[in-house]
Structure 1
Amino acid sequence: MKHTSKCQVGGLFCLLLVGNIAALSLGSASKPYDKQKVCVFGAGGFLGGCIFGFLQRCGSLYGTGIDGIQGPRAITATSVGSLALNSILSKNFVLAQADESFVKLTDMSSIDSIENRLQGFDAAVLATCYALETRPVTSGSYERTLNDKTTEFYMDRPRSDTYQEIDSPDHSFDFFRSSLEACRAAGIRRLIVLASDSQFERDSGDKHIDILNTCGIPYVYIRPNGQLENSPNSWTFAKGVQGDLVVERGYISLDPSSSSLPGVLYREDLAAVAVQSLLSLDWSINSIINVECIGPAPARKVNKALAKEWCVNSERLKSILEEN
């Protein structure tokens, strides 16, 4: 018999456990001395860039179990993706940066090329849908002729509106499928997959979950219930989680006839949930997490020792995901 339990942590989050499921604290933080290397696909997008920035901060702190020397690694198609990532890091993560040793330009049309970029890494963060843009292949990377073109991809969209985006769900799904094949071939042990907000509008089924289940790599599938937007208040990591979030486990089918509309969910908050999932959730178990924002976060006292936190309010996130 299924049951639902709810708890409130510091007035900021609720956790609803659907079915007899308990969150297990066997994530990377359970063995902080065993550093896990993580790569982020489409890190030039604002959501991907925030995840990368949080992972960089995790890698600088003991207790997270995230490698900060060889990782994190950004998977982009061209140098434009690298420039976009560094723009996010410098503005939103207080002059952080990712040099060429942390960014690998990848031919996303080649599974072998993707696999090569993943060798030696333990986990990958992907999206179900990317913003796409046609770009020249960066000189000295994988071009065959001077006029070669490729598709740059952003999780889930560029930070700036000046990019000429291509909306192609089929192309995004091809990216997703090829990435999974490469992850399996490279020996990736954990996947964090962020669904686009449009995917959550489906009333039943999800082709991305179907292909994940056949892939064989344990995953966390994070489904945002709401319109994804950037925080409007000149956000930096020092501001931490901005929304009053509800996190619910299990595949939740929405009633398409419902008159209630989901609210706004900030990309920065979703990125923090993704990173905390790596730290807190058992890497051997598949999990589906639904995230919704029900309003602004209550006023809180900010910890002044920011150098010791990868994200303000990360302890609350930890409590939510590890709650029985």
Structure 2
Amino acid sequence: MCKKWLTLTVVAAVSITSLTACTDNTKVKEAAVQSLDKQKEMKSYTFEGSTALSMNDALIKTSNPLTNGLLALVKESTIEWKGISNIDPLQYQTDLKITPKGSTSPFEIPILIKDNKMYFNMPAINKSADEYYMVDLQQMSQNSKSPLTLDSLKNTSQLTTSLASLLMGGTDAKWFSQAKDPVKLKDGTNAKSISIEITDKNEKELNTMLQAKMPEFIGLLQNNGLLSADKADELKKAPAGNFQIHAPGKMNIAIDDQGFVRDETLDLNFAVTAADGKAADNHITLHQTYDAINQGSPLTKEVPKNVRSFDEILKLIAPAKK
């Protein structure tokens, strides 16, 4: 009789422990998804981040020699950035620092968006450091042929949130975990850390989820001006499973006491199958932080005086005629 009760007690304890773990994981997932949705409330913020890229030619190659030359500079590189973003009216500034693999001499690309115009300097195409190219965003928005508009630029932060929410929302709660101890943010406050690890145990399941979400993923990129209709159709028609993520990998977010994501990291290995049937391996690591949320930080860059129209460059990077 004693053994019977002991057995029932153990079974009950295991059941309760399993149920609690399931409930906790579900709550952790809910907290992660809610924090990403909370990002839509960011109307102004400062940001800082970096990424390391190792991209195969098969993924980025285009039919235009100039475009290929520019992409070659970043396909294997480290990119750092820091800036300020205000949504309405759209005001944005950042400084990109790109260091190609094997180089000790990074090149910088300052960018400013103000009064519906975007200004930027690229060492590869500008004649001097004070010469900037200008894109009239209002005019671009009126051009039906351009997928990029003023509204889509305003929605960039929401797009990132939507893409992350799409992936996290489709991931089984059992793969979410929260660190026992909080992490310290740059301002000294605490944040809870939630992560998803890509392992041999969940790689297949995550790829199945990703394949199911791919049309929606592509649609978000197209609707926000990052993919043309032709490119989106091409990706949608690609064979199932031509994009595969591989272990090991990890996604992590740090959530402050207001519910905002303040720090996010990504370590992703993935393979893309080219038209010849060969799979090309790629690797991305990303780290991004957000601060001064909704504090209306003013821009510090001035509108450049030495400006040229970017239409000159657009003529050079137009798709080659067949």
Shorter-chain TM range is: under 0.3
Higher strand share: 2
TM, length-normalised to structure 2? 0.23
